[in-house]
């Protein structure tokens, strides 16, 4: 009904000509796909770094005792700050500000600062996911490990973290779906990735079909990740049910 209603509107022919020019779609698919490779590279590099840094931040927040209070406080401030600032502002501030310092040892690449910005922001989000996983492990698990002679660090490394990480894989994948889409924000620095190439083509030909091409590429990458998340959630549910029956 919605499709029928839209196709019967007075401006449908102009809308279709602007967004659904299939000849332009086919002609531009290769060019925009080449630019999309940069999005995939930024996503892959940022994801690998985030997985490690976010876990380290979550571990810092879980350290007990007053002696570790400064570390816990710093981790909390970091997570609160970068979860509160819009990602696009972090990208603009670092991508334009850091090269403007004109310091020899500071990288001038805007792609580099785009990746750094994504890592800073998503490390804050993913660390909260890890922390939730760590806190979901019953204290008896650590007590049992300590009773076997393991230190606090060994219990965390060999007993708690493996279980915690396994539990948070589905929400981690959801965060990384968001990360993949947010790589398009790096276009605000002038980096020619999929969205920027789309803007260039749209400005040159005054046609919005190029946006449809970029959307297709992002969807083609995110849908498999979404289905993988669903499969992992279903598998975890089956394991829990089997454990209860046992």
The enclosing domain of 105 has a CATH number of 1.10.3720.10
What average pLDDT does this structure show over 108-128?
Answer: 94
Contact between residue 96 and residue 189 where contact means Cβ atoms under 8 Å apart: yes
pTM value?
Answer: 0.88
- Tell me, yes or no, whether 181 lies in a domain: yes
Query: Count of domains in the chain?
Result: 1
Q: Which of 36-40, 59-63, 131-135, 171-175 has the highest mean pLDDT?
A: 36-40
Judge whether residue 233 has pLDDT over 80.
no
- Tell me, yes or no, whether 8 lies in a domain: no
- Tell me, yes or no, whether 3 lies in a domain: no
Nearest to 57 by CA among 81, 82, 74: 74
> In this predicted model, what pLDDT tens digit does every residue of 124-180 receive, in sequence order?
999 999 999 998 888 888 888 888 888 888 888 888 888 888 888 888 888 989 999
- Tell me, yes or no, whether 140 lies in a domain: yes
């Amino acid at each position: 009904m919605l499709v029928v209603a839209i196709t019967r509107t007075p401006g449908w022919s102009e809308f279709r000509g602007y967004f659904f020019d299939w000849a332009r779609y086919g002609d531009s698919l290769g060019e925009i796909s080449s630019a999309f490779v940069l999005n995939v590279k930024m996503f892959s590099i940022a994801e690998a770094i985030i997985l490690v840094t976010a876990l380290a931040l979550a571990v810092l927040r879980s350290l007990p005792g007053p002696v570790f209070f400064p570390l816990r406080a710093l981790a909390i401030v970091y997570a609160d700050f970068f979860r509160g600032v819009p990602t696009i502002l972090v990208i603009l501030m670092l991508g334009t500000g850091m090269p403007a310092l004109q310091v020899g040892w500071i990288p001038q690449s805007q792609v580099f600062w785009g990746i750094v910005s994504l890592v800073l922001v998503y490390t804050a989000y993913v660390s909260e996911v890890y922390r939730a996983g760590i806190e979901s492990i019953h204290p008896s698990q650590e007590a049992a490990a300590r009773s076997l002679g393991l230190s606090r660090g060994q219990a965390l490394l060999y007993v708690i973290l493996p279980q915690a990480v396994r539990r948070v894989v589905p929400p981690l994948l959801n965060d990384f779906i968001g990360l993949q889409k947010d790589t398009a924000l790096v276009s605000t620095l002038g980096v020619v990735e999929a969205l920027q190439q789309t803007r260039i083509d749209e400005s040159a030909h005054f046609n919005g079909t190029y946006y449809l091409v970029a959307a297709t590429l992002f969807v083609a990458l995110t849908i498999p990740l979404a289905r993988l998340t669903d499969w992992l959630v279903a598998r975890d549910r089956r394991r829990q049910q089997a454990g209860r029956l046992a």
